[in-house]
Amino acid sequence: MSRVLVGITGSVAAIRAPELVASLGAAGHEIKLVLTESARYFVDLMNVSQMAAVVAVHQDADEWPVGGYTRGDRVLHIDLRSWADILVVAPLDAHTLAKFALGLSDNLLSCVFRAWDFDRPVVLAPAMNTRMWESPVTRRHLAQLLEDRSLSAAPACWTLAEVAETFACHAPSLVLVPPQSKKLACGDVGMGAMAEIDSITNAVWNWTQPLEDSAEPA
């Protein structure tokens, strides 16, 4: 069983969070959730907190103790980074992608990402409107993530259709599960819907199963 930290951001696809948690839980993973403020609009906290595999649900307000900081207090984003075997951000909205790319760390989830040890994997499942996904800004932010994590010289020219393969080749610990084309919540039809839950959980399995197998006694 692996420890999976799931970040949920403010895309409409966040309504699928219980489905994702249930799928990861069925695979035997232990789960902690980190919700951004905008994600709370779409997620029933009481519902997800009571799901069997969930051991904790965290929000931005949990980062620092009520009443002020005392020397020696625990730092939540560091504790979460240390606890997790893998970080999954699903859905990854456009705003959080921009924060990750630029190194901004103004909420709990972006602090976890900024402090992450990339010897351990991160799975990102973007979800946004088609125009947002196809914006040059999106490719620029993805390219910044790739440049930061690349283990070999990444090609200068690649398309959004090639993003998963490009990351897999040049930044294997940063897994992009690309969005799919379908009718979006806004009524538009096109690329941008979050990948199917099975695609995300399979990406987690591809990383965690070898770790679990190697931990078994000979």
pLDDT tens digits, one per residue of 112-159: 999 999 999 999 999 999 999 999 999 999 999 999 888 776 777 899
Q: Find the domain containing 202 and state its range.
A: 3-213
Buried b vs exposed e over 117-141: b needs ≥16 C-beta within 10 Å? eeeebbbbbbbbbbebbeeeebeeb
Contacts of 17 (CB under 8 A, 6+ apart): 6, 8, 33, 39, 42, 43, 48
- Structural domain total, the chain: 1
Mean pLDDT for the chain overall: 91
Residue 199: CB atoms within 10 Å? 16
* pLDDT tens readout for residues 155-175: 778 999 999 999 999 999 999
Q: Does residue 38 fall inside a structural domain?
A: yes
On the question of pLDDT at 216 being above 60, the answer is no
Do the beta carbons of residue 142 and residue 176 sit within 8 Å? yes
CATH code for position 111: 3.40.50.1950
On the question of pLDDT at 218 being above 50, the answer is no
Res 118: pLDDT:
93
Q: Does residue 218 fall inside a structural domain?
A: no
pTM, 2 dp: 0.92
Q: Return d(Cα 195, Cα 199) in angstroms, integer.
A: 6
Q: Does residue 152 fall inside a structural domain?
A: yes
Q: Return d(Cα 79, Cα 73) in angstroms, integer.
A: 11
Specify burial of residue 35 (Cβ count, 10 A radius: 0-12, 13-18, 19+): buried
The residues annotated with a catalytic role in the active site are 186
Do the beta carbons of residue 1 and residue 30 sit within 8 Å? yes
Q: Does residue 165 fall inside a structural domain?
A: yes
Report phi then psi at 158, rounded to 5. -150, 155
Specify burial of residue 152 (Cβ count, 10 A radius: 0-12, 13-18, 19+): exposed
Lowest model confidence (mean pLDDT) among 68-72, 80-84, 92-96: 68-72
| CB half-sphere exposure, 129, CA atoms < 13 A | 7
Q: 60 or 217: which carries more pLDDT confidence?
A: 60
